[in-house]
């Protein structure tokens, strides 16, 4: 009974305590309370991280710097720890606004925190200055009291893309932290920058911050089994270090691998211990740039170190990073807005400084911050259309040994350089910056790809029954367990693959059917590509994308050369026609008669034999002299000069006739009686002659639709050797072949066949793919 009474009393006490706590919270939320005369500025940071601790120290230094030595009371910095949780950030903001009456709140490194706290700021009309670089550009229109004081990191993605382009890598893997801001914010910029650089993403790997080591290693192994060896990591420092530890354990930090990280990781590399650095050997990274040689920075550096050690004496690393500089600049902008508000007030002489600063409305503070224009520690602090000027210069660093080394800089629209001075020389390629130490410590640049251990190969269709086996020929082994594909088209394809900057796994799959059906398989996604002597014609473009033609284009007629039956005994008479032979004989006899008559009447031949003898003997002597002049020169035996003149003219004519006869007779012997007659398509069409062509090619439709050959007169032939027999046996009068096939045929059958008619231009032969041509 006593126990029941004790339990009842405890329950009532607990209920009473809860009611008191809730009433306190509700009073903070609903009642404004009495406003304190002490000016305060709120800070919400994640004190469980090194970044949050640095931000707290930097904001305190900023307030002390601006209000020291002036006739104004220094505002109080009230810092709340959100632990990176949006709910804690919201409750902290309500306490700072309702209870502490802060003039503004600075901090909020993540977008979820910023999103919810900005709603509280809008309702209370208190400026919220966010340090998150994940705030989308559209947030300002819905949240007028939200100011994003973090610099846009989009330019760093161009720097990463230029690194990829410098080494001519064409495929990359992107490993990123799976948060909303990455998916909807910066990762699309990376994808766009890579496309502009001529690279494509092989695999996108989203990882959650809470992923176990086992699951992370399994995801990385899947990436390792692919062919791409270039990895881009865009993740927070805790997740990135986890990625590199697991990558080293499974052998992904060895030779041939490339790792590139963004500022989210590299900005905190100075805080990494030696175990993390050892797992990142050879990593290239992009790091935010700021000048650490100015007097202003040196002064801040001393004050920050002192303040950080005072607040966190057990922290081993106390050097400021870029996030501390951003927090300093943001707090400076808020302090300047409050200070300038006092200086511009007309009644500040009759009021206390604190009361004047407390009287400045949230709208005026936001307006003055947006109008800020000063050179901050992290760079120029000014806004354009409500957006803080983004980073345009980044350091390019390489993790080597126990730390890292700066190998150069990247500047937007200028490229890479060894320095940032006015006299700097810029280059679009970082190869001029010096030697890079890659993972596994090779000095040679990694190829960026390797033969995958488990990657699905491309299915490439090849014709199983090609009439022209010189181009594609499939040979099956004797056991039927595999095929060997060879031929000119396959040789061209293999030579093309050697120029690719990555390995292309593939298998050849035979296809039985026409070329049109084979190309259509690409459209149906049964094959990834077609490698064959595929003619490039218009209707096939609907099924896939063609490569550049690798063989001659054109279509031409093939005919047989008919041999005439010629009597070789009378072959010598062929150079001249019959009328020509008769004319030559008559001229020869006439010339002999003239010479004989002149010599006979010459007085010096009065006693010569030419004037003696019978008429028959005189005629024989005349004919003998005439034909003798064709083979010998008898000018010295002539007595009359007149006969010598006649003989010289005749000898000149005989020389011309002899040379013409010799040339014509040689041509006849060379031709051996071949018929030079040509055949044209018009004659074939009118006579209804049979015309042969490849049965499975586009030529059938071309003859029918373009050359208007009746389909009954088209003979389909399925073997290159069958053309010769069909022409010899007169099964076809002619055949139409593509120019590459025609050249191969005439090289094989060099006698008895020839081409005829014009060459009809077509697209040539090429490969077909479901995406872009198989070239880099």
Q: What angle do CA 372, 120, 112 make, to 5 degrees?
A: 85
Tokens linked to 89: 């950030």
| Of 512, 510, 453, residue with least CA distance to 487 | 510
pLDDT at 13: 41
For 68-116, the DSSP string reads TTSSSPPPEEEEEE-TT-HHHHHHHHHIIIIIS--S-EEE--SHHHHHH
Share of the chain above pLDDT 70, in %: 81
Most confident of 20-29, 452-461, 521-530: 521-530
Question: Is the confidence at residue 20, as pLDDT, over 70?
Answer: no
Give CA separation, 485 vs 469, 470, 509, 541, 723, in Å.
Answer: 10, 11, 9, 25, 24
Q: What is the mean pLDDT of the chain?
A: 81
Q: Which residues contact 307 (CB under 8 A, 6 or more apart)?
A: 57, 60, 61
- Of the pLDDT bands very low, low, confident and very high (cuts 50, 70, 90), residue 7 is very low
- Of the pLDDT bands very low, low, confident and very high (cuts 50, 70, 90), residue 611 is low
154-288+392-433 CATH, one of 3.40.50.2300, 3.30.950.10, 3.10.180.10, 3.40.630.30: 3.40.50.2300
Instruction: Report pTM.
Output: 0.63
- Asked if 106 and 42 count as a contact pair (C-beta separation under 8 A), the reply is yes
pLDDT at 34: 38
- Asked if 437 and 400 count as a contact pair (C-beta separation under 8 A), the reply is yes
- Of the pLDDT bands very low, low, confident and very high (cuts 50, 70, 90), residue 35 is very low
pLDDT at 189: 83
Tokens linked to 518: 């084979």
- Asked if 393 and 420 count as a contact pair (C-beta separation under 8 A), the reply is yes
pLDDT in tens, 324-369: 999 999 999 998 888 765 554 444 343 444 554 556 788 888 889 8
Q: How many CB atoms lie within 10 A of CB 1?
A: 5
Architecture of domain 40-151+296-388 in this structure: 3-Layer(aba) Sandwich (3.40)
Q: How many CB atoms lie within 10 A of CB 300?
A: 21
Question: Which is more confidently placed, 611 or 233?
Answer: 233
pLDDT at 603: 60
Give CA separation, 158 vs 196, 261, 412, 727, in Å.
Answer: 9, 13, 8, 65
Most confident of 123-137, 345-359, 441-455: 123-137
- Rounded Cα–Cα distance for residues 628 and 600 (Å): 17
Sorted by where each begins, the domain ranges of the chain are 40-151+296-388, 154-288+392-433, 458-551, 569-671, 681-760
Question: Which is more confidently placed, 3 or 160?
Answer: 160
- Asked if 549 and 764 count as a contact pair (C-beta separation under 8 A), the reply is yes
Question: Which is more confidently placed, 634 or 691?
Answer: 691
Question: Is the confidence at residue 104, as pLDDT, over 50?
Answer: yes
Collapsing DSSP states into helix, strand and coil, what is residue 240? helix
Q: Which of 392-401, 455-464, 478-487 has the lowest mean pLDDT?
A: 478-487
pLDDT, mean of residues 642-658: 78
Q: Which of 205-214, 263-272, 329-338, 764-773 has the lowest mean pLDDT?
A: 764-773
* Helix (H) or strand (E) run with residue 753 in it: strand 753-760
Strand-pair partners of 507? 459
- Of the pLDDT bands very low, low, confident and very high (cuts 50, 70, 90), residue 240 is very high
pLDDT, mean of residues 159-164: 93
Tokens linked to 340: 């300038």
Q: How many CB atoms lie within 10 A of CB 349?
A: 7
pLDDT, mean of residues 170-196: 80
Q: Which of 27-31, 227-231, 367-371, 582-586 has the lowest mean pLDDT?
A: 27-31
Architecture of domain 681-760 in this structure: 3-Layer(aba) Sandwich (3.40)
Question: Is the confidence at residue 26, as pLDDT, over 50?
Answer: no
pLDDT, mean of residues 671-700: 79
pLDDT in tens, 452-482: 655 678 889 999 888 888 899 888 776 656 7
pLDDT at 772: 44
Q: Say if 40-151+296-388 and 681-760 have the same CATH topology.
A: no
| Torsions phi, psi for 67 (to 5 deg) | -105, 0
Architecture of domain 458-551 in this structure: 3-Layer(aba) Sandwich (3.40)
- Rounded Cα–Cα distance for residues 260 and 416 (Å): 16
pLDDT, mean of residues 620-636: 65
């Amino acid at each position: 009974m006593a126990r029941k009474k004790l339990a009842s009393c405890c329950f009532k006490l607990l209920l009473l305590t809860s009611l008191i706590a809730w009433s306190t919270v509700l009073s903070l939320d609903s009642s404004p309370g009495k406003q304190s005369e002490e000016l305060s500025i709120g800070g919400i940071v994640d004190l469980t991280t090194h970044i949050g601790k640095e931000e707290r120290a930097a904001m305190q230094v900023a307030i002390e710097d601006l209000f020291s030595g002036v006739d104004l009371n220094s505002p109080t910095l009230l810092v709340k720890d959100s632990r990176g949780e949006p709910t804690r950030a919201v409750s902290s903001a309500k306490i700072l606004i309702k209870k502490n009456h802060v003039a503004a709140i600075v901090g909020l490194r993540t977008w979820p925190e910023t999103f919810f706290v900005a709603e509280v700021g809008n309702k209370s009309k208190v400026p919220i200055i966010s340090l998150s670089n994940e705030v989308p550009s559209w947030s300002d229109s819905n949240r007028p009291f939200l100011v994003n004081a973090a610099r846009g990191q989009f330019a760093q993605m161009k720097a990463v893309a230029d690194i990829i382009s410098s080494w001519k890598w064409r495929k990359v893997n992107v490993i990123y932290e799976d948060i909303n801001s990455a998916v909807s914010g910066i990762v699309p910029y990376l994808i766009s920058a890579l496309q502009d650089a001529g690279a494509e993403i092989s695999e996108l790997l989203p990882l959650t911050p809470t992923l176990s080591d086992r699951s992370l290693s399994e995801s990385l192994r899947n990436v390792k089994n692919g062919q791409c060896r270039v990895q881009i990591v865009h993740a927070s420092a805790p997740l990135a270090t986890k990625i590199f530890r697991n990558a080293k354990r499974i052998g992904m930090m060895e030779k041939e691998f490339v790792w590139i990280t963004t500022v989210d990781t590299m900005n905190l590399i100075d805080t990494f211990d030696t175990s993390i650095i050892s797992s990142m050997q050879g990593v290239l990274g992009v790091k935010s740039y700021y000048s650490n040689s100015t007097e202003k920075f040196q002064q801040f550096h001393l004050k920050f170190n002192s303040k950080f050690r005072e607040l966190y004496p057990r922290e081993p690393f106390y050097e400021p990073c870029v996030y501390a500089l951003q927090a300093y600049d943001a707090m400076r902008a808020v302090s300047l807005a409050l200070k300038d508000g006092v200086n511009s007030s007309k009644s500040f002489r009759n009021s206390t400084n604190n009361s004047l600063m407390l009287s400045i409305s949230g709208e005026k503070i936001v307006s003055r911050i947006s109008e800020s224009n000063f050179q901050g520690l992290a760079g120029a602090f000014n806004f354009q259309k409500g957006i803080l000027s983004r980073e345009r210069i980044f350091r390019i660093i390489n993790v080597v040994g126990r730390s890292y080394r700066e190998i150069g800089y990247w500047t937007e629209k200028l490229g890479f350089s060894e320095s940032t001075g006015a006299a700097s020389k810029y280059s679009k390629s970082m190869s001029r910056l010096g030697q890079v130490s890659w993972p596994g410590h090779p000095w040679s640049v990694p190829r960026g790809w390797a033969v995958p251990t488990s990657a699905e190969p491309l299915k490439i269709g090849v014709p199983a029954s090609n009439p022209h086996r010189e181009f594609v020929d499939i040979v099956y082994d004797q056991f039927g367990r595999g095929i060997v594909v060879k031929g000119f088209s396959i040789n061209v394809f293999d030579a093309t693959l050697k120029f690719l900057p990555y390995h292309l796994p593939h298998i050849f799959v035979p296809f039985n059917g026409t070329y049109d059906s084979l190309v259509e398989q690409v459209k149906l996604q049964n094959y990834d590509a077609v490698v064959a002597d595929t003619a490039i014609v218009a209707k096939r473009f609907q099924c896939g994308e063609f490569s550049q033609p690798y063989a001659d284009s054109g279509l031409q007629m093939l005919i047989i050369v008919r041999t005439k039956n010629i009597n070789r005994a009378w072959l010598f008479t062929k150079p001249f026609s019959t009328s020509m032979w008769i004319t030559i004989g008559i001229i020869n006899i006439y010339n002999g008669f003239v010479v004989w008559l002149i010599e006979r009447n010459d007085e010096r031949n009065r006693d010569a034999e030419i004037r003696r003898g019978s008429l028959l003997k005189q005629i024989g002597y005349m004919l003998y002299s005439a034909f003798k002049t064709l083979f010998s020169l008898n000018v010295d035996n002539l007595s009359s000069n007149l006969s010598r003149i006649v003989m010289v003219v005749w000898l000149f004519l005989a020389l011309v006739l002899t040379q013409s006869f010799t040339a014509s007779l040689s041509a006849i012997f060379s031709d051996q009686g071949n018929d030079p007659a040509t055949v044209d398509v018009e004659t074939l069409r009118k006579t209804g002659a049979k015309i042969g062509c490849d049965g499975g090619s586009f030529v059938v439709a071309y003859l029918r639709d373009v050359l208007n050959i009746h389909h009954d007169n088209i003979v389909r032939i399925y073997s290159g050797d069958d053309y010769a027999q069909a022409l010899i046996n007169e099964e076809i009068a002619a055949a139409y072949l593509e120019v590459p096939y025609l050249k191969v045929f005439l090289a094989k059958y060099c006698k008895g066949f020839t081409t005829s008619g014009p060459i009809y231009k077509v697209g040539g032969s090429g490969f077909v793919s479901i995406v872009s041509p198989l070239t880099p």
